[in-house]
Amino acid sequence: MGMDLTLPRDGYGLIRRDDALAAGFTDDLLRALVRSGDLHHLGYGAYCVVDDLPTPGPERDDALYRLRSLGAATYRDAEVVLSYQSAAAVHGLPCLNADQTLIHTTVANGGGVRAQRHAHRGPLDDGQIVVVDGVRVTSLVRTAVEVSCSTDFVGALTVFDGALARGASREELAAELHSRRRVGSTMVDRALRHADPLAGSVGESWCRAQLIDGGLPLPRLQVRYALPDRRDAFVDFDWDRRLVLEFDGFVKYGRLLRPGDTAGDAVLREKVRQDRIEAQGPKLIRVIWRDLVSGRVPALVRYWLRHVGLLAA
């Protein structure tokens, strides 16, 4: 990396233009570092170091949107309350195919869309505002419900899975949801009924949504298998220990890398893990993101449920 790391960063890892200029740097230098790929311009007078970001893909997109939201919320002492997808990003709530073009806030008066910001008009009491990482955002419960009401079934299931995993209760979410009845609320109710805090990723939530919509028997999540090397394996989906489904996301094997490993080492280690699980009886199948996009997961699972005798032909 060619950039000068003495550029001032704040507690979020953001490089503020005002701070950089005060430290003797210039706009020409900042623009040059953006052109060279060392910095990413976030807007609201803020930049981030590209090497600090995840590898290109959905995780990088999410990280950039979170930084943009934080930058907007703290831009020159802005007094805003982040909401909807922006609050979800700060809470760390998973969102599937979230619209990350706008920064979302909620205001008591006015509202509208301008300058890459959507100000939603609505009442906010003190109990619905929390401070996360030093910025004001709508509460976890309100955020999850607002996002779920602005998306489809799989999007709502994903965000509810995440909210339950982060400590929200199903009762709190239901109360917030039922306080704001609207078109599509039946779909959101259905998503909340099926939400599960054990979902491990956006992909796993989407996979489960396809199983639900396909009318298939639903699996248990994060089921433990004791392996011969005294290590426990937790599988994503399990049907009666006769069928196991694992979702392999964009970076799964990258995350499995140990110091000195190659990608091939991680793949081989995962193959050994699969063999040891299957030695205990179940058939293990895998799906990837492309399978979710194509919608082929229900047909694949239906075939194997029939094959292992868990679904009538």
Give the pLDDT score at 265. Answer: 56
- The span from the CA of 61 to the CA of 100, in Å, is 8
For every residue of 36-101, DSSP letters joined together read TTSEEEEETTEEEEGGGSPSTTHHHHHHHHHHHHHHHHTTTS----B-HHHHHHHHT---TT---S
Q: What is the pLDDT of residues 99-156, one digit of tens each?
A: 899 999 999 888 899 888 999 998 888 889 999 999 999 999 999 999 999 999 999 9
| Topology, domain 202-307 | Endonuclease; Chain A (3.40.960)
Would you state the pLDDT for residue 268?
74
pLDDT computed for residue 98 by the predictor: 83
What distances in angstroms separate CA 20 from CA 10, 45, 65, 70, 297, one per listed residue?
Answer: 11, 10, 22, 18, 50
| Structure confidence by residue, pLDDT tens digits, 269-284 | 788 899 999 999 999 9
Predicted local distance difference test score (pLDDT) of residue 1: 47
Strand partners, 121: 107
pLDDT of residue 5: 54
Which stretches of the chain drop beneath a pLDDT of 50? 1, 4, 251-254, 256-257
Domain residues of the chain, as ranges?
1-52, 55-194, 202-307
